[in-house]
Amino acid sequence: MTCAEAKPRYAGILLAAGRGWRFDPEGRQNKLLQTLPDGTTIVAAAARHLQAATDSLLAVVPADSPVLSAHLSAQGCAVTKCAAADTGMAASLVHALRLAHDAPGWIIALGDMPFVSPDTIRQLAAALAQGADIAVPVHQGMRGNPVAFSRRHLDELLQLRGDIGARRLMQTHPVHEVPVSDPGILRDIDTASDLEKCRF
């Protein structure tokens, strides 16, 4: 393969800086470090699936979460701490994009979605390679996560603020929908009951 034929090297961004108050309102348990039935933590499963399908992975964690940071580092992730994470998801995303701005595109995944298939992520990367500027997976008519962006939208992504994340761009720009047979794109672990359902 010549340099001219080389595949684009898309970066995976794992957003793992949320506090998970709905899981534990008192903040004593980090939901991302809770284990699934196979013993893997929620965030490790999400990270491994993203690692398997992208060329690099950058995980964003809060500045005051050394255990989470060490855990993700042990999974082979590049970890960055976002001091402004509590201001909303956009802060974590912008923080990561500033560090990974050289990539031709990004697959943006959530740390509390451990059931997304690596093949789904590969299909999103393929959509970018084929010219899509925004690609989203769709299962049974419903859009889910992760979401892929080409660098065409970098400037707008860097302007995001608050907790809406990149949804605003998806409302104002064409979105390429990628049909997948992957219910994991719709399944997050938001509450303790969500995790309990995984055990049956």
Query: Does residue 74 lie within any of the structural domains?
Result: yes
Instruction: Specify whether the backbone of 8 is left (phi greater than 0), alpha (psi in -120 to 50) or beta.
Output: beta
Rounded to an integer, what distance in angstroms lies between the CA atom of residue 110 and that of residue 116? Answer: 10
Query: Does residue 63 lie within any of the structural domains?
Result: yes
Domain of 95, CATH number, reads 3.90.550.10
Query: Does residue 196 lie within any of the structural domains?
Result: no
Which residue segment(s) compose the domain that 85 sits in? Answer: 7-190
Rounded to an integer, what distance in angstroms lies between the CA atom of residue 145 and that of residue 107? Answer: 9
Average pLDDT, the chain: 89
- Number of domains forming the structure of the chain: 1
Rounded to an integer, what distance in angstroms lies between the CA atom of residue 16 and that of residue 30? Answer: 10
Query: Does residue 1 lie within any of the structural domains?
Result: no
Query: Does residue 153 lie within any of the structural domains?
Result: yes
Instruction: Report pLDDT digits (tens) over 60-110.
Output: 999 989 999 999 999 999 999 999 998 888 999 999 999 999 999 999 999
Decide if pLDDT at 24 tops 90: no
Query: Does residue 42 lie within any of the structural domains?
Result: yes
Burial class (CB in 10 A: 0-12, 13-18, 19+), 1: exposed
Q: What is the pLDDT of residue 112?
A: 95
Query: Does residue 198 lie within any of the structural domains?
Result: no
Decide if pLDDT at 2 tops 60: no
Average pLDDT value for residue range 135-156: 96
20 or 41: which leads in pLDDT = 41
Q: What is the pLDDT of residue 16?
A: 95
Query: Does residue 73 lie within any of the structural domains?
Result: yes
